Amino acid sequence: MIPAISTQHDLGHANTLGLPCVAERFTAPENLSELTQALETAYARGWPLTLLGGGSNLILPGRLPGLVVQPAMAGWWLEDGEGDSVRVHAEAGMNWHRLVMALAARGLWGIENLALIPGHCGAAPIQNIGAYGVELADVLEAVEVLHLADGRVTWLDRDACEFGYRDSVFKGALSGRVVIMRLVLRLSRHARPRLGYGDLSNRVGACASPLEVAEAVCAVRREKLPDPCDLGNAGSFFKNPRVAAEQAERLLAQYPGMPHFPQPDGRVKLAAGWLIDQCGLKGWRDGHFGVHERQALVLVHFGGGSADELLDVAARVAARVKGRFGVVLEREPRLPG
């Protein structure tokens, strides 16, 4: 079946930064056949293609030429199985937070710490979403993808996804080459609370259910992070930088209170939010954008701004951090194309 393709489609509400954007053409296929038709039509007519998920990690330009495709297959189901673990299938268009809460409510453990992360399931593996000591890679078993070059649908296991901190093969060798169709996660029926991060263990008891943990995570996030419905943002705007051990030592001699996390590869991860905060930028505003007043890692859009202005503000924040600490900040949200 040929899916409906709308023209001059407003994407202003389809990105959590709330940047104004008009797609020349837009379609939201609800199954593989519609997706394939949309891709074939784009290919036949020479339309450039942009894939859109929940728009929560994306910096949109004012206008997107060609065809924007937002996969809308949004089912999820449990695979019957015996024993402790349960397989969960989740289609790309499913809202991630709703999946987390539905599974936590069923008493399944594994992704409760990832509650309230905005976006669709299909985007989750791209940046290997992570929070409160858990990453998607910890529970992901496989990803079903459609290859744009020849329409083949294949499965990638966890190793093939090449997960790293906020990184995966979907940002590397497979960038722009596949459409993520479905995730398979492996969750556990038995209690596996991970309460080591921050003050989570003060908020829930050791016998908490996964739903109670998920609710505690939601409460922490609501205290620190702006709700995109109230204030445009894309969550963390920068990755936490990893620096050489010698550089971390030099910085620690100067700033003994600096949060630092030694990594398995010998490097040391620093907190970008702390670095920006130390530059006195928390709550700083210039025009339509600024640094969030409660979490300096989040850039916020007060409305009326553009992608170029945002990138300029971000470049100035990064330059201040580089100037003071000699640390380079890398952007987290992606530009389409």
Residues at the contact surface with ligand EPU, assessed by CB under 6 A: 131-132, 197-198, 225, 235-236, 239-240, 259, 271, 273-274, 277, 282, 295-297, 332
CB of 233 to ligand EPU, least distance (A): 9
CB of 155 to ligand EPU, least distance (A): 26
With 0-12 / 13-18 / 19 or more C-beta atoms within 10 angstroms meaning exposed / middle / buried, residue 94 is: buried
Catalytic residue among 85, 331, 332, 334: 332
Residue 132 carries which side chain, given as an amino acid letter?
Answer: Y
Q: Are strands 49-51 and 63-69 parallel, antiparallel or unpaired?
A: parallel
Note if 45 is an active site residue.
no
Catalytic residue among 25, 158, 166, 182: 166
- DSSP 8-state symbol, 318: H
Note if 6 is an active site residue.
no
Q: Which is nearer to ligand EPU, 86 or 297 (CB)?
A: 297
CA distances from 22 to 65, 182, 302 (A): 9, 27, 19
CB of 77 to ligand EPU, least distance (A): 27
Q: d(Cα 160, Cα 227) in Å, to the nearest integer?
A: 34
Q: Are 109 and 121 in contact (CB under 8 A)?
A: no
Note if 166 is an active site residue.
yes
CB of 130 to ligand EPU, least distance (A): 6
Q: d(Cα 191, Cα 84) in Å, to the nearest integer?
A: 10
Q: Which is nearer to ligand EPU, 192 or 294 (CB)?
A: 294
CB of 78 to ligand EPU, least distance (A): 27
Q: Are 336 and 50 in contact (CB under 8 A)?
A: yes
Q: d(Cα 155, Cα 164) in Å, to the nearest integer?
A: 19
Q: Which is nearer to ligand EPU, 42 or 115 (CB)?
A: 115
Q: Which is nearer to ligand EPU, 312 or 332 (CB)?
A: 332
Catalytic residue among 56, 168, 236, 306: 236
Q: Are 90 and 99 in contact (CB under 8 A)?
A: yes
- For ligand EPU, the nearest residue by Cβ is 235
Q: Which is nearer to ligand EPU, 64 or 123 (CB)?
A: 123
Positions annotated as catalytic residues are 166, 236, 332
